[in-house]
Amino acid sequence: MLRATSHFKEEHKKKKSSRLTLVVAEEIKTYVFANKLVPGDRLPNENELIEKFQMSKSTIREATRILEAQGLIKTRTGPGGGCFVHEVSENRTIALLTNYFYFKNMSIREIYQLRKVLEPEVSSELSGELNLKQIQELKTILNKYSDPPKSEEEEKSYHYNALQFHAKLAEFSKNELLKFIIKFMAKLLSEVTIDRRLFEPSNHELWQKGRNYQIKLIKALQKGEKEKTYKIMYNHMCFAEKLMAKQETLVGKKFVSFE
Amino acid sequence: MLRATSHFKEEHKKKKSSRLTLVVAEEIKTYVFANKLVPGDRLPNENELIEKFQMSKSTIREATRILEAQGLIKTRTGPGGGCFVHEVSENRTIALLTNYFYFKNMSIREIYQLRKVLEPEVSSELSGELNLKQIQELKTILNKYSDPPKSEEEEKSYHYNALQFHAKLAEFSKNELLKFIIKFMAKLLSEVTIDRRLFEPSNHELWQKGRNYQIKLIKALQKGEKEKTYKIMYNHMCFAEKLMAKQETLVGKKFVSFE
DNA sequence: ATCTATTTGTACGTATGTATT
DNA sequence: AAATACATACGTACAAATAGA
């Protein structure tokens, strides 16, 4: 234990600018990796960590807060409680990523440059691969905005659900990276403040047209017509971009919290 | 100030499961947002935060550690020091994202599914848009692996630099999201452990062929032949995928630290 | 180069909250 | 319902870093 002390204090002297708190946080990560701990596994509790690293309670606690903020561990109080390795959640990661883009002033156009290639990619990948339950889940979302919206509240809910359709489709992909990016974009777009009336009377036909793309998409997905699925989604994206481009508001204009 | 106390303690009672530390962290974020603080702006110092939120020093500190871990603030000691709003860095964000994919067992194939659509996208976007200095930067990277590698050490360096070529190209894109994703993929791939000898003698011609794609790419980029640029990059990616697919090692198999 | 003032960083002890048995 | 084992919260004292005189 005293060896631990001297070890870390020496480390500290070497890379002098990094604080003990950060050193401890890194060491705990190393510990998890070295012991091949997986989500759910328990770390030593506070007192044991204090013993192990010969650091004060506050230093240990600040270190665990850092790891927790990164989503790598969770803590529980009570008997049997303590620190547990935790699988970094999708929501938390999306939140952290959103914070990065907070300063980047993303435009609708930029997001659609990606959507136009990724959404068709994922839908053609899944064409003919979805089971009935999955198709049903998509249809359920579709039914949430079958009629033109009647209130501002409904507008927002429709906007959100239309994006959820894409998030759900991506959910079925086996490619975790593709899945994540599409969901992230859906999240960004769902936060676009609706300044102009996307769903004002004159736009009802456009609105209906957008939904029709999704209906046609489901049919093509079921039939497993990969080429056709790709094209429908691509056209859908081009159409959606035109619709969204009216929104001059930039996206992601707030820090987000986790979970 | 006492109002602050009761305010937060009541909040705390409502959503009882969330700790004061987390509440304070959120409130500080809100404070930044409400006061429209930008990177470089100073937050109240520890004592002022203690006063403002009527919390103990440790609670405040744990809250700031959380925000720091997310890359939203930085702290400095000494006179004029304190907490400062900080633009979330690309490296830190990539690190946080890598932690998420640590548990996901990404395969080479999945990454290339995206590379095959995104790399051509970014290169055709930039075709004819790069200035001489930018072209020169690309060529400089290219020169770092002009001859076949002679040692294992050189192999690794070549592998890394070949990916840096793509990261650099993405760097020139105006689309922050596209830029980020491509750099992230380059990072993931550069961490693939080289088990099989990618550059073993029998593969030298393949290796050379890969580099030739990049040379042709630069020419097409300069001439502004968007279609041609797109196709060269697409073929390059298909070729690279075949080469990399021999690597059975999965990527991203460690937690990463920041900066 | 040294001192001084300011501000974060670390240590430690105690008390309280919370969940399990 | 009570005891137990754990995290959470508080407050003080002192150490370390840094800017400016």
Cα–Cα dist B231/A80, whole Å: 58
Instruction: Pick the more confident residue, A250 or B230.
Output: B230
Residue closest to B212 by CA, chosen among B122, B142, B144: B142
Taking each helix axis from N to C terminus, what angle separates A176-190 and A108-126, rounded to the nearest 10 degrees? 140
Q: Write out the H or E segment, with its range, that includes residue A73.
A: strand A73-76
Integer CA distances (angstroms), A75 to B47, B56, B112, B231, in order: 27, 20, 37, 51
pTM score, whole prediction: 0.88
* Local confidence band at A14 (pLDDT 50, 70, 90 cut-offs): very low
What residue segments make up the domains of chain B, in order of their start?
11-85, 91-258
Q: What integer best gives the mean pLDDT of chain B?
A: 86
Gap from B128 CA to D1 C1', Å? 79
**Residue A21 beta carbon within 7 A of nucleic strand C:** yes
Q: Please enumerate in sequence order all residues whose Cβ is within 8 A of that of B230, keeping only pairs 6 or more positions apart, or say none.
A: B120, B121, B123, B124, B127
Query: Which residue in chain A is spatially nearest to B104 when comparing CA positions?
Result: A176
Cα–Cα dist A207/B13, whole Å: 44
Each residue of B17-49: pLDDT tens digit?
689 999 999 999 999 989 999 999 999 999 999
Name the minimum distance, in Å, from the CA of A30 to any CA of chain B. Answer: 8
Q: Please enumerate in sequence order all residues whose Cβ is within 8 A of that of B86, keeping only pairs 6 or more positions apart, or say none.
A: B39, B71, B72, B73, B74
Tokens 């990399």 locate to B244
- DSSP state for residue A18 in the 8-state scheme: S
Instruction: Pick the more confident residue, B7 or A90.
Output: A90
CATH class of A11-85: mainly alpha
Name the minimum distance, in Å, from the CA of A202 to any CA of chain B. Answer: 32
Average pLDDT over residues A124-132: 97
pLDDT at A1 over 70: no
Instruction: State residue B150's pLDDT score.
Output: 77
Q: Is B65 on the interface with A (CB under 8 A)?
A: yes
Question: Torsion over CA of A143, A145, A146 and A148, rounded to 10 degrees?
Answer: 170
Cα–Cα dist A15/A21, whole Å: 13
Domains B11-85 and B91-258 fall in the same CATH topology: no
Instruction: State residue A253's pLDDT score.
Output: 54
Find the CB nearest B99 among A88, A104, A175. A88
Each residue of A22-60: pLDDT tens digit?
999 999 999 998 999 999 999 999 999 999 999 999 999
Q: Is A16 on the interface with B (CB under 8 A)?
A: no
Fold designation for A91-258: Four Helix Bundle (Hemerythrin (Met), subunit A) (1.20.120)
> Cβ–Cβ contacts within 10 Å for residue B244, how many?
18
Instruction: Pick the more confident residue, A7 or A120.
Output: A120
Gap from B59 CA to D10 C1', Å? 9
Whether the CB-CB separation of B96 and A68 falls below 8 Å is answered with: no
Cα–Cα dist B36/B41, whole Å: 10
Q: Is B17 on the interface with A (CB under 8 A)?
A: no
